Amino acid sequence: MKVAKTEEPIFFFFVVTCSESATFCLLECCEIMHDCFIPLKTFLVRIGFGKIAVTAWCYYIASLRKADLLKTELLDLNKDGFLIRNQAGGIVLKMGFRSGTLDLDSCSKEGVILRCSRSFAGKVNFFIMTVKPKETVVCYRVRWEELESDRPVEHAMSYNESHWYGGAETAVQHWPIAISGQQAPKPFVTSDVYSNRHDFGGILERYWLSSNATAIKINDSVPFHLGWNDTEKTMYFQARYQDSPYKPAPGRPPYAELSYRVCVGPDVTSIHKVMVRRYFPKPNKVPAKEMFRHPIWSTWALHKTDINQEKLLTYAENIRKHGFNCSHLEFDDRYTSQYGEFEFDTQKFPNASAMFQKLKADGFLVSLWTHPFVNYDSANFGPCVQKGLFVMEPTGQLPALVKWWNGIGGILDFTNPEARNWFTSHLRSLRHKYGVSSFKLDAGETNYLPWQFRTRVHLPDPSTFTRRYTEMAIPFNERAELRSGYSSQNISCFFRLIDRDSVWGYELGLKSLIPTVLTISILGYQAVLNVRLLRLHLIFLTGRLGCISSLSSNEAFRQGGHGSMDSLNLQPTLAPHRNRNSFILLIN
């Protein structure tokens, strides 16, 4: 059918209505000239092409709005992860989502919060909040919480173009972190790294600092596992409860939550200061200055567990006889008859009171070795069971027996106020009775807890047990010594490196000493004590620094014909009793 032609032009205009999120558009065609006529087929074709053009324009506008929606400050979010830039525009961090992909249509932005409610696997609670603790520092709080499944949540951080520092004491220690091989995510909890070389060490924090002025802090509530892949130059941050020592709070489903904070600053110093002030508890004092200035003499270096009153007094006398400073004497394992007791073994120490009086008269301050275990053959084991002072098996009916390097026994539950009081009362009694100056608190790592256990206070993170144990040093902290730590920076004592082997390399060897001290220091621990090597090495620094090689010929410091000065256990220190320009580094 033909319609009448007209000389007047025909105009149409389109009205486009888009949803708030710009995910769909409505198209209306309005005719300006109502009295015009064109062929119907031509009219419909024009309408079709018009709709296509306008729809394409709508999707283009929608993509621009979505790009703006998924950006907050210097962070860009996509369905597979996010990246962060610095003020100069350079990319400083890339994070990928390994366990799921976000449904970007579920995302919205409200002020400083960018939020998404779905992944392609189900409902989630995902958000990124922008925080500015300083004008020059921008932080992003990131959280991914599963709401319908107990599947793990895992993010992958690329470290290809930067150096990273922090994390934990490890058996193989480099500075900066040097990742080797592939490791599936494993629990990030404290462990005796000397006995468990592939675990993390006794001092750790969920904190990393990079050379591009970026820092990451994993939240304490996260059931955190750490893995890596050196081929992909990637670290894996995973949250999970399955096959893990982490346990959800009673009554809560085991739905994993991965939450952390990423902060970016103008330089490494500035960003580190912000993170330390925000996340690390502060020490309230400096440990005793004499501990820095003078040697620490240890019975372990010469006698190991074969110690008695006569040997100890002879050892102290030889220190005096050869002109060394009578400073701090560390009474190590084993002075009690059974592990878990506190009083001196009368067979080995027939007059402990007189021995302490003699040491005090000679100018020694004496500390005693102690630990959190009570062996089953100790006289204290039965009373501790009756009082419920031990970590229990999961039902809470029986104590959980644990194996440690000196036998089998119970481990005190330091979340229980009664156990804490029982332990500290014995230490105070020793201090009052003998004038003991302080204590060396050994162990405390989570690998000495049973895989399944129950404590008086629920521990979502097993490393909190380490924190509770280190608090036992607070009454004695000016001279106390610990070898484990987790959020323990406020305890003003000395934190000791785990023992080293007599090797030169980075696996618990000489080369690992400085990297380990630097790592522990960047985690907020200010006073770090030296270590013992299983065999003896004496390093002489000659020339300007002087030499003390003549000491090695003294028979008083020989053991088994080695002539290796096994009795010396000194921190690197300026020798106060000799030439102030001589530097002595003795490692036992």
| pLDDT tens digit sequence for 98-143 | 999 999 999 999 999 999 999 998 999 999 999 998 889 999 999 9
> 493: helix, coil or strand?
coil
What distances in angstroms separate CA 418 from CA 67, 308, 388, 458, 520, one per listed residue? Answer: 58, 33, 9, 16, 32
What predicted TM-score, i.e. pTM, was given to this entire model?
Answer: 0.81
Residue 489 inside a domain? The answer is yes
Asked if 419 and 349 touch (Cβ cutoff 8 Å), the reply is no
The dihedrals phi and psi of 263, each to the nearest 5 degrees, come to -120, 140
- For 432-453, the pLDDT digits (tens) are 999 999 999 999 999 999 989 9
Residue with tokens 């008086």: 456
Residue 572 inside a domain? The answer is no
Residues 217 and 361 occupy one common structural domain = no
Tokens representing 128 are 């990124």
Asked if 192 and 449 touch (Cβ cutoff 8 Å), the reply is no
Residue 364, pLDDT above cutoff 50: yes
Residues 94 and 22 occupy one common structural domain = no
Give the mean pLDDT of the chain.
84
Q: How far apart are CA 203 and CA 123, in angstroms?
A: 37
Residue-level pLDDT at 42: 65
Residue 559 inside a domain? The answer is no
Angle between helices 309-321 and 352-361 (to 10 degrees): 10
Residue 41 inside a domain? The answer is yes
More confidently predicted of 557 and 262: 262
Residues 323 and 299 occupy one common structural domain = yes
Residue-level pLDDT at 81: 96
Give residue 44's pLDDT band: very low, low, confident or very high (50, 70, 90): low
Residues 44 and 148 occupy one common structural domain = no
- Domain boundary (24, 54, 69) is at 69
Residue 35: Cβ-neighbour burial (10 angstroms; 0-12, 13-18, 19+): exposed
Q: How far apart are CA 146 and CA 256, in angstroms?
A: 6
Query: Structurally, how many domains does the chain consist of?
Result: 3
Domain harbouring 377, CATH code: 3.20.20.80
Asked if 190 and 203 touch (Cβ cutoff 8 Å), the reply is yes
Going by C-alpha positions, the residue among 433, 428, 437, 431 that lies closest to residue 297 is: 437
Residues 451 and 476 occupy one common structural domain = yes
Residue 494 inside a domain? The answer is yes
Asked if 328 and 287 touch (Cβ cutoff 8 Å), the reply is no
- Domain boundary (537, 555, 573) is at 537
> 71: helix, coil or strand?
strand
What distances in angstroms separate CA 64 from CA 69, 118, 135, 497, one per listed residue? Answer: 8, 21, 29, 54
Residues 476 and 526 occupy one common structural domain = yes
Give residue 69's pLDDT band: very low, low, confident or very high (50, 70, 90): low
Residues 399 and 270 occupy one common structural domain = no
- Domain boundary (491, 517, 537) is at 537
Residues 35 and 142 occupy one common structural domain = no
Sheet holding 407-411: strands in order across? 373-375, 407-411, 402-404
Residue 547 inside a domain? The answer is no
Residues 81 and 17 occupy one common structural domain = no
Residue with tokens 């005796």: 192
Q: How far apart are CA 460 and CA 248, in angstroms?
A: 6
Residue-level pLDDT at 330: 94
What does the H/E/C string look like for 92-114?
EEEEEECCCCECHHHEEEECCEE
Residue 196 inside a domain? The answer is no
Q: How far apart are CA 35 and CA 290, in angstroms?
A: 104
Q: Print the domain residue range for 466.
A: 289-537
Residue 400, pLDDT above cutoff 80: yes
